[in-house]
Structure 1
Amino acid sequence: MRLTLFTDYSLRVLLVLATRTESLVTIADLAKAFDISHAHLMKVTHMLGKSGWVETVRGRNGGMRLSMHPSKLKLGTIVRHLETDFALVECFGEDNRCVLTGGCELAAVLARAMQAFLDELDRYSLADIANGSPALMVLPLWQEVTWQPRMTRPSIEVVPAVAQALLSEPVPSKRRKAGRSE
């Protein structure tokens, strides 16, 4: 499953706001820091404002800030709200015409996997993620870091190569290979 860029950008904005709770952060500053389109961030900010998680202030000295403490906002809640389609297969969608519906184990396996994914996200708040994200503290933003989380290293360093490996086909263990050759 791949989260949309909209959700990705929304999570980035929320994480920045979680670390700069005493000041307003502007779309222009975020667009520059993340090298993201200003227009995309306008849409993201609008949706985050409508969600009630972010307070937006218009005008020359405007910007945005979290409307609640970062520990109160769970990642699962955010992703469920922002993602419009979790239909990995046709039978999960509204216009299901799959002839296997009702007699296919794939749907059950994917439903359990989706639930496990969302359950894992529900374990973490924005505060938890900010605690494990030292890169948030050094973003090139003029707003001062005002929320000082306890700093920990990320649980796994995920760079493109690691992300690809996590999503690739599992390598059979030596034990299973040995068992097959006997």
Structure 2
Amino acid sequence: MQLKKYTDYALRVLIFTGMKKDGELASIKEISETYHISQHHLGKIVYQLNKLELLETIRGRNGGIRLAKPANEINVGLVVRVLENDFHLLECFDKGTDHCVISPACTLKHVLNKALNAFFKVLEEYTLKDLIRNEEELLELMGMEK
């Protein structure tokens, strides 16, 4: 199973903003420089995270972004489910394009569906707060001070 870069980057944005303290704002530029990701691409991600009410964006000269809710209320599994819109692991997962002759009797799709559900079950056990428990180490790796 592989997540899209978009989802990876969105989780990184949430981790970055989740480590800010007391309503401190982050900037797309700061995140871009830290992770070496295009500001333009991050802008699209921040826009969607704002629409999902996970980030709050503040306009203006002293503007920036911050979490819209506490890190312990942001469920990793739910974020991934929303951002990943295609979990058709095999052709038979997509009813409209299933041309496999054994599909009606095949149990592989059921096995993979069970595995996919287990994948999400594990992700849903974690919140953003769980992802930033090792904050000091993360800050050091990002070249930031506490």
TM norm structure 1:
0.74
Q: Which residue of 2 aligns with 1:79?
A: 80
Percent of matched pairs sharing the same residue: 37
Distance 1:109 1:7 in 2: 25
Distance 1:85 1:111 in 2: 13
* Equivalent position SS for 1:115: helix
Distance 2:72 2:127 in 1: 5
* Equivalent position SS for 1:64: strand
Contact 1:28 1:38 in 2 (8 A): yes
Distance 1:132 1:81 in 2: 26
Distance 1:80 1:134 in 2: 29
Q: Which residue of 2 aligns with 1:140?
A: 143
Q: Deviation of residue 108 (structure 1)? A: 0.5
Distance 2:97 2:135 in 1: 40
Contact 1:31 1:37 in 2 (8 A): yes
Distance 1:134 1:7 in 2: 24
Q: Deviation of residue 74 (structure 1)? A: 1.0
Contact 1:15 1:136 in 2 (8 A): no
Distance 2:29 2:51 in 1: 20
2:104 corresponds to which of 102, 105, 118:
102
Q: Which residue of 2 aligns with 1:164?
A: none
Residues 161-172 of structure 1 aligned to structure 2 (within 5 Å): none
Corresponding position: 1:113 with 2:125? no
Q: Which residue of 2 aligns with 1:2?
A: 2
| Alignment coverage as a number of residue pairs | 143
Structure 1 unaligned regions, length at least 5: 146-182
Q: Which residue of 1 aligns with 2:57?
A: 56
* Equivalent position SS for 1:33: helix
* Equivalent position SS for 2:123: helix
Distance 2:124 2:97 in 1: 28
Amino acid in structure 2 at the alignment position of 1:130: I
- 1:43-73: CA deviations, max 9, x gaps? 1101100000100111211110001110111
Superposition CA RMSD, Å: 1.5
Q: Which residue of 1 aligns with 2:13?
A: 13
Corresponding position: 1:69 with 2:70? yes
Contact 1:16 1:136 in 2 (8 A): no
Amino acid in structure 2 at the alignment position of 1:140: G
Q: Deviation of residue 133 (structure 1)? A: 5.4
